[in-house]
Amino acid sequence: MPNAQTKSVSDKPVIRENVNLAPLNTLGVEAVARRFVEIDHPNQLRQLHDDGFFDRQIPIVLGGGSNLLFLNRPDRPVLKMSVSGRDIEAREDGSVLLKAGAGENWHQLVKHSIEKGLGGIENLALIPGTVGAAPIQNIGAYGVELKDVFHNLTAFEIETGKFRTYTAAECNFGYRDSIFKRELKNQVIVCDVTLQLTKNAHDLNVDYKGLNDHLESKKISDPTIKDIFNSVVEIRRAKLPDPSDIGNAGSFFKNPVLSEEQFETLRSNYPEMPSYKVGDDEYKIPAAWLIEKAGWKGKRVGNVGTYKNQALVIVNHGGATGEEIYNHALKIQESVRNTFDIDLRPEVNIVGNES
């Protein structure tokens, strides 16, 4: 991929007005952006900065629209990152650096890595969204998180109009979290991401029970990265709805992490409760299990529902407003809180009427 800071750009970004965002978010919620601009090269961000675009309001940055919910018409301008490009660089230690533009489709990048024989992100197949959103969310699935393969990223500083590289340590990754969701929220825009993958001697992760069970059902005892990729795709397609068929944003809530004391108290009442130890005294509980146990799996209220095959997914059956979906989520949270004394936190970014 050409260097994002030096490649010349002739096309100046065009700012459009009153753009319908329904096709640009996977929940299919109707919302209209008063001002909208699409970026296909990082240098266009600098052009916007020099023209004073960022002086009045910080924009809502939009990638694949798979991890957000518009409550209503956003007051802030919307900036869609469509920067493309992929580049592979071999390293002396045998690893490979895979660099991709922020607008690249994440699943297609995972598929590309498998085709090139590169290991490390096969467990992250079929996660919706773009590359630029991956480090912000520190996406993860089936025992692997982005931080496990992250090398660095390039981001545009809105205040200074300069580009800066962030290392893994500087990103301060946490569970579905990073510095970009906290201290640097609305301060930088991710332009590209570089991952460190393996060319040989792949470090496979098949510890996650659902994945391990699926491989065993296929009688695969010595899986390749392609086997893992195919298994994850099959599992996710069986459990999760396709946004092109029914509006959804994937997992709506984070899996809660409990202290050992909380966990033991809950387990005494629900011995069948699934759990994963994530620290010396911390346990992750599947939010889907909590939601299903609270009676929400497959439940529909008006135009909104909880998906019949995966309770973690809220779906738009057609015509649902952002407020309707949000209220549905609030009712689920209240129900789980009343049943288990656990607060579910949204994984989806809620975009309100902001000034």
Determine which helix (DSSP H) or strand (DSSP E) holds 267, and give its type and residue range: helix 260-269
CA 111 to chain CA centroid, nearest Å: 17
Selecting among 38, 104, 145, 347, the annotated active-site residue is 347
Could you tell me which residues come within 8 angstroms of residue 257 by beta carbon, excluding any fewer than 6 positions away? Answer: 175, 278, 282, 283, 284, 285
State the SS3 of 123-173. Answer: HHCCCCCECCHHHHHCCEECCEEHHHCEEEEEEEECCCCCEEEEEHHHHCC
Residue type for position 309: N
Q: How far is CA 44 from CA 52, 53, 83, 156, 190, in A?
A: 12, 11, 10, 11, 13
d(CA 168, CA 171): 5
Q: Which of 35, 76, 176, 236 is catalytic?
A: 176
Among 333, 332, 327, which residue's Cα sits nearest to residue 69?
327
* Closest by Cα among 112, 152, 131 to 63: 131
Length in residues, the chain: 355
- Which of 183, 190, 185 has its CA nearest to residue 150? 190
For 38-56, give one letter per residue: b (16+ CB within 10 A) or e.
bbbbbbbbbbbbeeebbee
Q: Reduced to 3 states, what is the DSSP secondary structure of residue 54? A: helix
Other beta carbons less than 10 A from residue 173's beta carbon: 21
Structure tokens at 95: 């690893």
Q: Residue for token digits 């970014």?
A: 349
Active site annotation includes 176 = yes
Amino acid at 142: Y
Candidates 232, 67, 21, 257; CA nearest to 143 is 232
Reply yes or no on whether 282 is catalytic: no
> Can 272 be counted among the known catalytic residues?
no
Catalytic residue positions, numbered:
176, 251, 347
